[in-house]
Amino acid sequence: MNESRSLQGDTTAAQFDVVISNCEGGTFQKGEHNAQILSPKEDKKMAKNQTLVSDFKQKKLEIEAQKNWDLFYKRNSTNFFKDRHWTTREFEELKGCREFKDQKLTILEAGCGVGNCLFPLLEEDLHIFAYACDFSPRAVEYVKQNPLYDAQRCKAFQCDLTKDDLLENIPSDSVDAVMLIFVLSAVHPKKMHLVLRNIYKVLKPGKCVLFRDYGIHDHAMLRFKSTSKLGENFYVRQDGTRSYFFTNDFLAELFTSVGYETVVNEYVLRETVNKKEGLSVPRVFLQSKFRKPGRET
């Protein structure tokens, strides 16, 4: 486990054991974004933290984004992120996509990493065919080497979602649901619309992108040092990977500017607990659903 990442990064990761119930009304209150309100001390820290990483370093990080994620998987292999068994539970939409029981669904997991979302889904639902892509060649290789990988039910391929056309691997208007789970936050905000446009082409009209990612004022955001700020709500970890923290307004504007309609777009407030170490941290995620307009023909 990479220490710098455990301090500054995503505790969706391995070191935290349990995600307990929604904490609205507990340690959290509704704020101007309906997200977490900062304590005066946190507020002061965020206001003070205005110096940005130099342009030179920012350009380098952009050029090396793929390399840095690939090195991340070289260091951590398949051990960093926990399997995401909540996907079917919380995204009932996946099941809701069906017009009849056991209807075969085609999904795309964009930015699949080593398959922590993908494999639980394939195991839980035998009537899914999944495309899965990531720009880290190592991550894609780990997916293909997974004993649960079955070419009859899954096609994994390397793709930089900001520049490689998904149509090279997936027919247009053919996917019933796209999962975008903790991926857009890793993309430079100026390039996020390119990812959404790319996905739009393969999604069937009337079908949705299922989104989950970091929300503004998430614990991981508050932990970043002043030397890690790249821009508004955008930070770099010590390993060179980057993370954006979304407001629901920013996200809605991003999706609608590309042509999607907002179906759901809300903050999910959680407390992540590490029982062993007696640690409990407040988390803020955005869980959203955006629809490509039109009806399937």
Ligand X SMILES: C[S@@+](CC[C@H](N)C(=O)[O-])C[C@H]1O[C@@H](n2cnc3c(N)ncnc32)[C@H](O)[C@@H]1O
How many binding residues for ligand X (CB under 6 A)? 21
For residues 201 and 172, the answer to whether their CB atoms sit within 8 Å is yes
Give dist(CA 240, CA 58) in Å, integer: 10
Residue 81 lies near ligand X (rule: CB under 6 A): yes
- Please identify, using beta-carbon distances, which residue of 159 and 175 lies nearer to ligand X: 159
Residue 222 lies near ligand X (rule: CB under 6 A): no
- Scanning 18-26, 55-63, 94-102, 110-118 for contacts with ligand X by CB under 6 A, the matching segment is 110-118
> Applying CB under 6 A, which of residues 5, 33, 84, 207 lies at the interface with ligand X?
84
For residues 80 and 13, the answer to whether their CB atoms sit within 8 Å is yes
DSSP 211-275: EEEEBTT-HHHHH--GGGEEETTEEE-TTS-EEE-B-HHHHHHHHHHHT-EEEEEEEEEEEEEET
Residue 162 lies near ligand X (rule: CB under 6 A): yes
Residue 211 lies near ligand X (rule: CB under 6 A): no
Question: What mask, x for binding ligand X by CB under 6 A, covers residues 245 to 264?
Answer: --------------------
Residue 154 lies near ligand X (rule: CB under 6 A): no
DSSP class of residue 131? E
Residue 112 lies near ligand X (rule: CB under 6 A): yes
> Applying CB under 6 A, which of residues 36, 136, 233, 288 lies at the interface with ligand X?
136
Residue 140 lies near ligand X (rule: CB under 6 A): no
**Bridge-based pairing state of the strands 279-291 and 203-214:** antiparallel
- Please identify, using beta-carbon distances, which residue of 28 and 221 lies nearer to ligand X: 221
Residue 176 lies near ligand X (rule: CB under 6 A): no
Name the strand (E) or helix (H) holding 42.
helix 40-48
Residue 181 lies near ligand X (rule: CB under 6 A): yes
Encode 134-152: b = buried (16+ Cβ within 10 Å), e = exposed: bbbebbbebbeebeebeee
> Applying CB under 6 A, which of residues 28, 69, 224, 246 lies at the interface with ligand X?
69
Give dist(CA 24, CA 34) in Å, integer: 10
Residue 182 lies near ligand X (rule: CB under 6 A): yes
Give dist(CA 172, CA 154) in Å, integer: 17
- Interacting residues toward ligand X by CB under 6 A: 69, 81, 84, 111-113, 116-117, 134-136, 139, 159-162, 181-183, 186-187
